[in-house]
Structure 1
Amino acid sequence: MNFVIFVIAMGALIWGAELIIKQSEKIALKFNIPEFIIGATLIALGTSLPEMAASVAASMNHKPEIAISNVIGSNILNITLVLASVFLIARSINPKRDFFAKDSTWALVPVLIFILMILDGVISRFDAILLLLLMGAYLLFLLQDAKSIPLEELDDVDVSHFSWVIVIPILIGAFILVIVGAHFTVESASEIAKSFGISEWIIGIVMISLGTSMPELVVSISAAVKGKVDMAIGNIIGSNLANTTVVLGSAALANPMPINAPAYLFDIATMIVATLILVFLTANKLYTKSAGISLIIILGLFLNNTIQSM
């Protein structure tokens, strides 16, 4: 029964996030916000909503292992699964934006700061505020940089019949789906872990992070198929930044989260390595299928270690 509840709750979580993404796109295009900015901010934050809802719910329910492992697992999967899928599926990848000069290091900085924060064994409310400020700094950077980015339309978003009367109720309903879905996702996942004798960390880093990464996977693959690689890559970079800052920060703000870092060294190290590879690929513009295969290898090592830990 708990597994059924988990699947339904995760479905509500993802569906609610998808509705929020679509309405956010309409609002952004209504106000002529450039495509990359939509991908790196609104869509990135929107696709990170499941992670945020799940992690905040876990933190409030005094399940810090689920909250933190969800963020780490999602960051790993966004790079090794989602980005790899974009590289393998897209016919050609020639982004207009220099992601190394402007964006990929923004995904690395919060990961390094996260390492410093967990050295004392807890992510405090003060740490949370610093993480949220870092996301604010990135948004400010993007807004200042937006003037140099040409405006492009999203093919599948029609704003000709835009109406706040329709958009606002859909957004409210979608947020309710996300919040309720997050609560039951965490509770059912916790019960599944107990029934099988699996740690909450494993449940969070595999089951919940895989489920909450589905919006990023769907949005990025859809964008890649349509040739919108800037949006696809921007969504991944923005999502990882949002995970480490907004998601983790919001969860720690709700409740300080203790963490036994040495016990989860492999997973933390994998997140660091995956992020460094992201920076390396963008620095050398290695947007190739070979790079995609390399990322899949990292994913295989991560999943193999997780399975052996169960």
Structure 2
Amino acid sequence: MDFLIFIIAMAALIYGADFVIKESERIALHFNISSFVIGATLVAVGTSLPEMAVSMSASAKGSADIAVANVIGSTIFNISLVLGLVFLLAKNIEPKRDLFAKDSAWSIFPILIFILMGIDGRISMFDGILFICMMGAYLLFLINSNSIEQSDEDLSKDKFNWIKTLVLLLIGFIFVIVGANFAIDSAGNIARGFGISEWIIGLFLVAFGTSLPELIISVKSAINNNADLAIGNIIGSNVANFTMVLGLSSIINPLNVDFNSYLFDISAAFIVSLMLVFITANKLYNKSAGIALLVVLGLVIQNSL
């Protein structure tokens, strides 16, 4: 039964992603907002809802390890797996936005702030409020750096309908989030059936499951030649994970962070974030970069198991 649920959940993810991408592009076109900004805000926050739900629930139950590990693991998966597959599957990636000049800093700032905040072994309520303020600063930055670009001609021919667009966008997010939750639960049951430990399930399976919305939406966007939305979704989701997810989780209940236990995983998240900066600096939007990211993911999994 779990295998069947997993297949249905994945289908819901893919189906919902189509709605999210198309309606997000429609909104971007109507308001002359760039695909990157839409991807880094509306789509990124929407696809980060599973991480938010898991980490906030874990924090409320006093499971700080799961709350923090979910964010760290999701960051690793978003960059190494999602971005790696985007580079491998997309025919041609030519972002219209200068990602290094405008956005690379946001790939590294959140995790650096997290490390500074967690050095004392605790993410406090005050730290959480600072994280939320950082998310506000990121949104203001994106709004001020927005650039008008051309969008899908087929979408431009359609008359914009707020009600239809919002309903379809909501349906898409519901399919994506519910699909992700069922995929996580069913995959967890399958993993336990094979005797996999709860820690590994939390760090990899839950993190992978909550990254499924980013994976599906970014890959489909890249295949549809919308690299800006795909990469914007990844960068925006990582910012949202550290600011909104950890911020709200620590406001609910301060999070104890054992850096000795998380040292390898935090280092891995920092390294892949640096790789993203290096890729944008040198505009290495190609299959070689995708393979390198997937190799790093393989090494991380191998050393953590």
TM-score range, shorter chain: 0.7 to 0.9
Name the amino acid aligned to 1:66.
I
Partner of 1:276: 274
Q: Distance in 2 between matches of 1:69 and 1:90?
A: 30
Deviates more, 1:90-99 or 1:149-158: 149-158
Q: Distance in 1 between matches of 2:160 and 2:58?
A: 36
Partner of 1:150: 148
CA 1:118–1:89 in 2, change beyond 3 Å: closer, same or farther?
same
Residue segments in structure 1 that go unaligned for 5+ positions in a row: none
Cα deviation, residue 159, structure 1: 8.5
Q: Distance in 1 between matches of 2:180 and 2:56?
A: 9
Match of 2:284 among 275, 286, 290: 286
Deviations 1:192-228 (A, max 9, x none): 8888775544222211111121121122112222222
Partner of 1:233: 231
Partner of 2:294: 296
Partner of 1:46: 46
Partner of 2:83: 83
Q: How many pairs are equivalent?
A: 305
Name the amino acid aligned to 1:79.
I
Cα deviation, residue 121, structure 1: 1.5
Tell me if structure 1 keeps the 8 A contact 2:70–2:203: yes
Is 2:220 the partner of 1:246? no
SS at match of 2:93: coil
Tell me if structure 2 keeps the 8 A contact 1:190–1:200: no
Alignment map for 1:250-265 (pairs within 5 Å):
250-265=248-263
Cα deviation, residue 287, structure 1: 1.7
Cα deviation, residue 107, structure 1: 1.5
Tell me if structure 2 keeps the 8 A contact 1:45–1:242: yes
Tell me if structure 1 keeps the 8 A contact 2:108–2:273: yes
CA 1:155–1:82 in 2, change beyond 3 Å: closer, same or farther?
farther
Q: Percent identity?
A: 55
CA 1:159–1:251 in 2, change beyond 3 Å: closer, same or farther?
farther
Partner of 1:205: 203
Residue segments in structure 2 that go unaligned for 5+ positions in a row: none
Deviations 1:205-260 (A, max 9, x none): 21111112112112211222222222222221111111111121122222211121
SS at match of 1:298: helix
Name the amino acid aligned to 1:227.
N
SS at match of 1:92: coil
Tell me if structure 2 keeps the 8 A contact 1:16–1:178: yes
Name the amino acid aligned to 2:105.
T
Cα deviation, residue 71, structure 1: 0.9
Q: Distance in 2 between matches of 1:206 and 1:140?
A: 32
SS at match of 2:266: helix
Partner of 1:96: 96
Tell me if structure 1 keeps the 8 A contact 2:184–2:205: no
Partner of 2:125: 125
Q: TM-score, normalised by structure 1?
A: 0.82
Cα deviation, residue 78, structure 1: 1.0
Name the amino acid aligned to 1:54.
V
